[in-house]
Structure 1
Amino acid sequence: METDATFRGEGRCLCGAVRLTATKAGRHVDACHCATCRRWSGGPLLALDCGTDVRIEGGEHVALYDSSEWAQRGFCARCGTHLFFRMREGGGYFVPVGLLEPAEGVRLASQIFVDSKPAYYNFAEATTMMTGAEVMAAFAAKD
């Protein structure tokens, strides 16, 4: 069931080998400025929280990279498209907002690792902002 807070998003990699369906994609875009996300995406990672209800077709083409103790990153092994950031505990998916169509009605809502953000860009939107230490403390509080 779709609510105002979520939508059904579908997307595919550049070559079409992998298709992804998120039945409950959130409408709040989160920006991560950590060095790992910037290295992975070439800039901040702009992603939607899609929860655990994500279906992947063409999974044999998905390569996984263990990018930290708490998460994996998935990408198409054929064309390199970034598909998701997945939490190890709980299995929640964060999907790049540009991958999902339609991505209407979404807005930039929060930024994390703002203390790692380089000085050469800023977002104009007013958002919730958390430092790396605040993010780690929030993860620890969930344990």
Structure 2
Amino acid sequence: MTDMREGKGSCLCGAVKVLVKNISNEVGACHCDMCKKWTGGPLLALDCGTEVSFNGQHNIAVFDSSEWAERAFCNKCGSHLYYRLKEANQHIMPVGLFDTEIPLVFDHQIFIEAKPSYYHFGNKTKEMTGEEAFAHFAPPES
């Protein structure tokens, strides 16, 4: 079960501060090609939902990485800030941004078929292919 609470954090230089009203405690790893290119490895992130606010927004640069999502970073220090699903306004944010002490659990990996063979996590997690992840996380059709 997801434990939700408030999360606070910032980029490396402090130019962007973030407040999340309902941060998940479930850490996930994404092994997709875009995340690997963006982070230099897997993206370790938390689902931060839609209630996310930023202080220092003029320091945020946004890149439209696909039709349905965008990625943002601090234009001062380069810290990755979020992956946002545009239609749902859902923010997936790097776990390392947060200063808030919350009990985290690493419980899932997505795009497992794209994970390179040179690293392995020791944790037992739920593993989903890209297709399974899109089906699981897709917003309901209206």
Q: Does the pair score TM above 0.5?
A: yes
Bin the TM-score by the shorter chain. Answer: over 0.9
1:123-142 aligned at under 5 Å gives the runs 123-139=121-137, 142=140
The Cα shift of 1:7 comes to 2.2
Q: Distance in 2 between matches of 1:71 and 1:79?
A: 22
Q: State the secondary structure of the residue aligned to 1:38.
A: helix
Partner residue, 1:55: 53
Q: Distance in 1 between matches of 2:57 and 2:13?
A: 14
TM-score, reference length from structure 2: 0.92
Partner residue, 2:75: 77
- Contact 1:114 1:132 (8 Å CA) reproduced: yes
- Contact 1:23 1:54 (8 Å CA) reproduced: yes
AA paired with 1:86? R
- Contact 2:88 2:139 (8 Å CA) reproduced: no
- Of 35, 38, 50, the residue aligned with 1:37 is 35
CA RMSD of aligned residues (A): 1.5
1:1-143 aligned at under 5 Å gives the runs 5-139=3-137, 142-143=140-141
- Contact 1:97 1:103 (8 Å CA) reproduced: no
Q: Distance in 2 between matches of 1:141 and 1:12?
A: 28
Which structure 1 residue ranges, 5 or more long, are not aligned? none
Q: Distance in 1 between matches of 2:139 and 2:51?
A: 24
Shift >6 Å, 4+ stretches:
none
The Cα shift of 1:136 comes to 2.9
TM-score, reference length from structure 1: 0.91
Q: Distance in 2 between matches of 1:20 and 1:117?
A: 29
Which structure 2 residue ranges, 5 or more long, are not aligned? none
Q: Distance in 2 between matches of 1:64 and 1:80?
A: 11
Q: Distance in 2 between matches of 1:103 and 1:42?
A: 26
| Percentage of matched positions with identical amino acids | 46
